[in-house]
Amino acid sequence: MNCTSCKNGALFPSFIDGQFRTHTCSNCGGNWILIEDYIAWKEQNPDYQFSDNISFEDSDATDSKQALFCPKSGAIMRKFKISAGNEHRLDYSAAVGGIWLDKGEWELLKSEGLAGSLNSVVTQSWQRNIRQQTTKQSLTELYQTKFGDEGYSKVKQMREWLSAQENKADLRAYLLADDPYSAER
C-alpha cells in the first residue's frame, strides 16, 4: 500500500508502541490502523493503560488539512475531531474501518488521554458531545464578553439559585415584569 498522506512512501507493517498492528509510512511516519486490529488488541489487554503523562507540544503533530483517500479502498475518508479543545482531526475510512494518524497524532491522543478511546472518536455520539462542548465554550465566551467576568459570574449564581427553587416560574415572572407590583400586564 502507498501512503495516503505524503503519496511518496510505502506503508509497511509495524506496531504502535509495540502494542497493536499498524502500517507506517516509510516517508512521513503516518500510521494506518484498522479498527478491528485495535479493538482485538484492547479486548486481549483490557487492563492496559496508555501512558498519558507524556509532554506534548502542538508543533510535534502534523495534521493533514486536505481530504485523504483510503489506502485500501480509494474512497474519501471523513475527518473527525478528537476533542473540543483541540483542532486536530483524524481521517476515517468507513469503507474498511481504518483510521489514518498523521505523524505525531498518536502521541497527541496519548497526551489528551484518548489513546484508549481511538475507536470511540469516530462515533456519532463522540462527535455530538464535541459539538455540544464547543457550543458551550463559544456561548460562555460570548456571555463573558457581553456581561463582563463579574456580571457573568453573578448571573450564573443567580441562575443556579433560581433553578433550585420550587416556585421558579413565579420568580421568573416577578423578575421579568416591568412593574411586578402593578395589576396591569
Strands 11-16 and 20-25, by their bridges, are: antiparallel
Instruction: Extract the runs of DSSP E, i.e. beta strands, from 4-161.
Output: 11-16, 20-25, 31-34, 78-83, 86-93, 98-101
Domain ranges of the chain: 11-122, 129-176
Under a CB-based contact definition with an 8 Å cutoff, are residues 91 and 79 in contact? Answer: yes
Each of the 185 residues of the chain gets a pLDDT tens digit; together they read 899 999 999 999 999 988 899 999 999 999 999 999 999 998 888 777 776 555 545 446 777 878 999 999 999 999 999 999 888 899 999 999 999 999 999 999 988 888 888 999 999 999 999 999 999 999 999 999 999 999 999 999 999 999 999 999 999 999 999 898 987 76
- CA 32, 116, 54, 56 torsion-angle sign: positive
Q: How far apart are CA 99 and CA 34, in angstroms?
A: 6
Coil vs helix vs strand at 90: strand
> What pLDDT does residue 58 have?
45
Under a CB-based contact definition with an 8 Å cutoff, are residues 63 and 87 in contact? Answer: yes
